[in-house]
Structure 1
Amino acid sequence: AVAYAIKNAGEDIDVTDKMEISATVKLTDDSKIRIRGGKGVGTVTKHGLPVPVGEGAINPTPRKMIEEAIREVLPSGKGVEVTISAPEGEKVAEKTQNLKLGIVGGVSILGTTGVVRPLSMTAYRRSLVPQIDVALAQNYERIFLVPGNIGEKLAKQNFKIPEDAIVQTGDFMGYMLKMAVEKGAKEITIFGHPGKLAKLAAGIFNTHHKMGDARMEVIAAYAGAAGADTILIQKILQSNTTEETLKFLEQAKLLQLTFNQIAEQACLRSVERVKNKSKISVIIVSMDGTILGTSKNARSMIQ
């Protein structure tokens, strides 16, 4: 028997919205319930996820819900094999983080209640956390938090950081710091562009522009502390992008001193945020991967 359903993501930002998902059920005589991933459901290849390596990426809660529903109607003495498929899953998975997490060949079957609620931001934040689990399962002594794709690319290409040790945070640096510490990360390096990391020095840990944008003010303040005159400070405050400020600071020979101070303050703010429960360092880089500044405890890493 085969049954189909169309995924309804509600208000969540979800690439699987309106995707067809099917369950193929075959009765057996051994009283066991087996749940497998079929076409379009990914296979787990890395440790650290809640599903064992080699199995279909169907998380424990959906598995439990499927099993409970089956037991309500399963005849005594009978078993069942259930294959969950998503015909478009492999294509849709290209738009997710599955490959980075070690889930190949399709989407993941996730969920906590089976009910979609309008919690898009919460759902998105939650979707980032498995990266931490994968990194810690690989026994890396240090994990690297980066705001997004550019930071990850630079960390891998310019600094040879292993992919599994890199965790993308999106705009939720504060949340991901907290989760990394809760899950046992002992050493964390925050790595990325000043457009995001300068905000941390001001205590802004949700780096979306709608939540606060003090980039130019932070750079101007620390440029002043480094010796910038009024004219340079005004140029920084009137800049359209953080990249534009780099040119002014370089001309004044204040670039490294300014961003070392910003990185140090971002580090101190981050340590405060997690109540000193992890060793945290900060490295700020330009778009081409040039190191602009580091916290004091990160300098030995780049020598």
Structure 2
Amino acid sequence: MKSNRFLKKGYTTGSCAAAAAKAAVMTVLNDEIVITTQITLPKGESISIDITDTQIDGDSVTCTVKKYSGDDPDITNGILVCATVRKNSGGIKIDGGVGVGRVTRNGLDQPVGNAAINSVPRQMIRNSINEICGDYDGGFDVIISVPNGEEIAKKTFNSRLGIEGGISILGTSGIVEPMSEKALLDTIFLELNTRKSAGDSIAVLVPGNYGEDFAKKTFGIKNTVQCSNYIGDAIDYASDLGFSDILIISHMGKLVKLGSGIMNTHSKYADGRMETLALCAALAGVENFADILDCVTTDEAYEIIRDTKTIDILMKRIDKYLKHRSDVNIGAIMFLNKQGIIGKTADVDGILERI
């Protein structure tokens, strides 16, 4: 809620790409222009997305979706996401065209050289196409493009991350949640209050979907509260509400910032990931600690420090800042998607025993 009205959700560039691709395939197979198409999101919900334009050029069809970001202040709101589709002898082959970036550095979701179309959107595109193939036993070439994507990318961090030539096609849930700061903070407080009222004594905080999924799969914890970038505020709320313990479960990319006392992890406020890791590596005696400053992602940086005492030093720093923030018993678990748990603060094992 904001100003006594509900904020509207939108849909991700990944959802736009999946809807455009599905509509194009429907036109290729049925020779009918599609006005609206329905896609299934990663968690099973279905949404309908309008197709703003369809172009037929010989044996290929291009469908276009105009991205809608709801009430989220998203730089990609209103952009056109296009999918050009043609039949092939077998398999769904996905690539990027004009305005979709290319990966130029290791450590990102896609290998070097691939179009910056992340794994979840790629699977959404495949699933959406497979839903309608029927008796057709061939495949499709799918090219995703964004006409003004290269210009939009100049206003993002893509070039710093190692993505050149356009935007990324993103989304883990398919939905863009409205990110009004006050609305999001109110939601975090409300969810924590609901969990406390339901009898939970331990607040389990996760920044987003990665942390939520990791908590479920690794520890069987279902009652997590997503705190986005507002880790410090969520700690304050949980402390004020009287939780006996607070446990934070987070990917390294977010949690490492706490090692420098950064409690709002949004990049517009502060980054410091590589600087924090480089400091801890230097304290651990890593000779090439300065190489960390040139890394794009924490996954990449981890390869430099994985067999050293760097993470131990980092977790002690995180523990210090967490305990400075709250008098409640508090701990943090840090993980990477491939390696699993790579670090824990001192009180984590005791908290896990009580969950």
Instruction: Identify the TM-score tier after normalising by the shorter chain.
Output: 0.5 to 0.7
Asked whether the equivalents of residues 193 and 284 of structure 1 are also in contact (C-alpha less than 8 Å), the reply is yes
Note the C-alpha offset of 1:11: 11
Note the C-alpha offset of 1:186: 1.4
Write the letter of the residue equivalent to 1:240: V
Aligned residue number for residue 242 of structure 1: 298
Write the letter of the residue equivalent to 2:183: A
Write the letter of the residue equivalent to 1:143: A
1:60-75 equivalence runs, <5 A: none
- Between the aligned partners of 2:352 and 2:241, the Cα distance in structure 1 is 27
Write the letter of the residue equivalent to 1:242: T
Aligned residue number for residue 91 of structure 1: none
Q: Quick one: which of 271, 278, 281 aligns to 2:323?
A: 271
Gap change, CA 1:281 and 1:120, over 3 Å in 2: same
Gap change, CA 1:10 and 1:235, over 3 Å in 2: farther
Q: What's the C-alpha RMSD, in Å, of the aligned pairs?
A: 2.9
- Please say if 1:286 is aligned against 2:336: yes
Note the C-alpha offset of 1:178: 0.4
Gap change, CA 1:12 and 1:226, over 3 Å in 2: farther
Note the C-alpha offset of 1:124: 2.0
- Between the aligned partners of 2:297 and 2:342, the Cα distance in structure 1 is 15
Write the letter of the residue equivalent to 1:259: I
Please list the CA deviations of residues 95-147 of structure 1 after superposition, one character each: whole Å capped at 9, or x if unmatched: 699xxxxxxxxxxxxxxxxxxxxx93212211222221232233233221111
Asked whether the equivalents of residues 204 and 247 of structure 2 are also in contact (C-alpha less than 8 Å), the reply is yes
Q: Percent identity?
A: 27
Aligned residue number for residue 200 of structure 1: 258
Asked whether the equivalents of residues 329 and 347 of structure 2 are also in contact (C-alpha less than 8 Å), the reply is no
- Between the aligned partners of 1:134 and 1:155, the Cα distance in structure 2 is 19
Question: How many residues are matched?
Answer: 189
Write the letter of the residue equivalent to 2:228: G
Larger Rg: 1
Note the C-alpha offset of 1:156: 0.5
Q: Quick one: which of 140, 144, 154 aligns to 2:214?
A: 154
- Please say if 1:215 is aligned against 2:264: no
Unaligned runs of 5+ in 2: 11-173
Query: Normalised by the size of structure 2, how large is the TM-score?
Result: 0.49
- Between the aligned partners of 1:8 and 1:156, the Cα distance in structure 2 is 31
Gap change, CA 1:294 and 1:267, over 3 Å in 2: same
- Between the aligned partners of 1:133 and 1:11, the Cα distance in structure 2 is 21
Note the C-alpha offset of 1:249: 1.6
Note the C-alpha offset of 1:155: 0.5
SS of aligned partner of 2:253:
helix
Asked whether the equivalents of residues 9 and 175 of structure 2 are also in contact (C-alpha less than 8 Å), the reply is yes
Aligned residue number for residue 167 of structure 1: 225
Unaligned runs of 5+ in 1: 1-6, 17-93, 98-118
Please list the CA deviations of residues 264-291 of structure 1 after superposition, one character each: whole Å capped at 9, or x if unmatched: 21122122122x2x00111111124611
Gap change, CA 1:9 and 1:279, over 3 Å in 2: same
Query: Normalised by the size of structure 1, how large is the TM-score?
Result: 0.56
Q: As a proportion of its length, which structure holds more helix?
A: 1
Write the letter of the residue equivalent to 1:298: V
Q: Quick one: which of 127, 136, 140 aligns to 2:200?
A: 140
Gap change, CA 1:196 and 1:12, over 3 Å in 2: farther
Gap change, CA 1:289 and 1:249, over 3 Å in 2: closer
1:2-17 equivalence runs, <5 A: 14-15=8-9
